[in-house]
Amino acid sequence: MPSSDDEVDRIPLSARPEWSDVRPVPQDDGPNPVAPIAYRDDFRETMDYFRAVYLADERSRRALDLTTEAIGMNPGNYTVWHFRRVVLESLNADLHEERDFLDRITMRNAKNYQIWHHRRWLAEKLGPEVANKELEFSKNILDLDAKNYHAWSHRQWVLQSLGGWENELGYCCMLLEDDIFNNSAWNQRYFVITRSPLLGGLQAMRDSEVGYTTEAILANPLNESPWRYLRGLYKGDTSQLISDNRVSELCLKVLKTSNSCQFALSLLLDLLCYGFQPSEELRAVVEALRNSEQDTVSSNLAATVCLILEIMDPMRSNYWAWRRNNLPSQVC
């Protein structure tokens, strides 16, 4: 949206000498307009002149400047962006200047697909020399909205295509310190530990990551992300998951201190389904959570956990009932 300053300063294109040779082209709504559109005058005028240069395929400096104005008024117009790229290439324009322009525009339109795609197009052309600047820029956007999906996609692309992995795990730590509930940051953490060429991969990182995640969970047990992350660390290796004492002890600790933690219960349920043998202490803690009004006494701990969850998480009671009816035969 143009600011009030822009409106005060803007000289109509029809009054600008450098545009005097151009006949603006009005919007063509077709022979039978489904719905004729009435435009605000300055926007209408800008788009009329844009259409003129677009149809004439005029790849000039003034055409470039015109796309700058059009983008300023409506950064979602993808045709304007396409034409801008065509003009930039034809003029062999300074792409570093283009980057500066893009930086300014993105701050105001951080969820715009066209802008992020243009950014990638630019970065591809500029190459690895801009890797750090691109990481810095996406960090600036994430400072304003740490879950901006476009910024994260862009950041992942930069890392994989241009490099810059050195500080990424540290960056994830920083974001999680700011907001331990940031699912995007947890996702990025997983991305780094599994794909960074500088770390050893999931196996090598698992131990320290289990420690990190456990701390995060203990600080805020009602946080969905680290519970999922913890499962992810044992990707496909359920025997490791059930034999690592830290996991079951984590469930125990959380259940002892926060008696309505469905995430701890659901992880415990998964452990039991994978064949985990619970300690007496764990059994006792779970039993204590059972609603004393519940008549149903179940023969195994897993079924008890499901019954508790059906009451504790009623919105998903069908899911927990389904789990209870589909327990493996050998489960405790």
Partner 1 sequence: MGGLEEEKHARYIVSVEKKKDDFESLVIEHLRMNGAYWGLTTLDLLNKIGAIDADAVVSWVMECQDKDCGGFAGNLGHDPHLLYTISAVQVLALLDRLDVLDIEKVSDYVAGLQNEDGSFSGDMWGEIDTRFSYCAICCLSLLGRLSKINVEKAVNYIVSCKNLDGGFGSIPGGESHAGQIFCCVGALAITGSLHHVDRDLLGWWLCERQCKDGGLNGRPEKLADVCYSWWVLSSLIMIDRVHWIDKEKLTRFILNCQDKDNGGISDRPDNAVDVFHTYFGVAGLSLMEYPGLKTIDPAYALPVDVVNRIFFTK
Contact residues for partner 1, defined by CB under 8 A: 1, 27-40, 43, 51, 54, 74, 76-79, 82, 85, 113, 117, 120-121, 147, 149, 152-153, 156-157, 160, 181-184, 187-188, 190-191, 195, 223-225, 228, 231-232, 235, 314-316, 318-319, 322
C-beta closer to partner 1: residue 6 or 287: 6
Query: Which residue type does 38 have?
Result: A
C-beta closer to partner 1: residue 46 or 285: 46
Our answer to whether residue 235 is catalytic in this structure is no
Least CB distance to partner 1 at residue 270 (A): 10
Backbone conformation region of residue 27, classed left if phi is above 0, alpha if psi is from -120 to 50, else beta: beta
Task: Give the other-Cβ count within 10 Å of 208's Cβ.
Answer: 11
Establish how many alpha carbons lie within 13 A of residue 290's alpha carbon, considering only the half-sphere containing its beta carbon.
Answer: 19
CA 180 to chain centre: 15
Tokens of 202: 């999931």
Active-site residue among 111, 139, 147, 235? 111
Least CB distance to partner 1 at residue 15 (A): 22
Least CB distance to partner 1 at residue 285 (A): 23
C-beta closer to partner 1: residue 239 or 277: 239
**Rounded CA separation 75/65 (Å):** 14
C-beta closer to partner 1: residue 32 or 292: 32
Residues in the chain: 332
Least CB distance to partner 1 at residue 74 (A): 5
List of residues 6+ apart from 65 with CB closer than 8 A: none
C-beta closer to partner 1: residue 39 or 294: 39
List of residues 6+ apart from 284 with CB closer than 8 A: none
Burial class (CB within 10 angstroms; exposed 0-12, middle 13-18, buried 19+) of 215 = exposed
Least CB distance to partner 1 at residue 305 (A): 15
CB distance 160 to 123 below 8 Å: no
Q: What are phi and psi of 197, to 5 degrees?
A: -70, -10
Burial class (CB within 10 angstroms; exposed 0-12, middle 13-18, buried 19+) of 67 = buried
CB distance 324 to 306 below 8 Å: yes
C-beta closer to partner 1: residue 49 or 190: 190
Task: Give the other-Cβ count within 10 Å of 32's Cβ.
Answer: 5
Q: Catalytic amino acids? A: 111
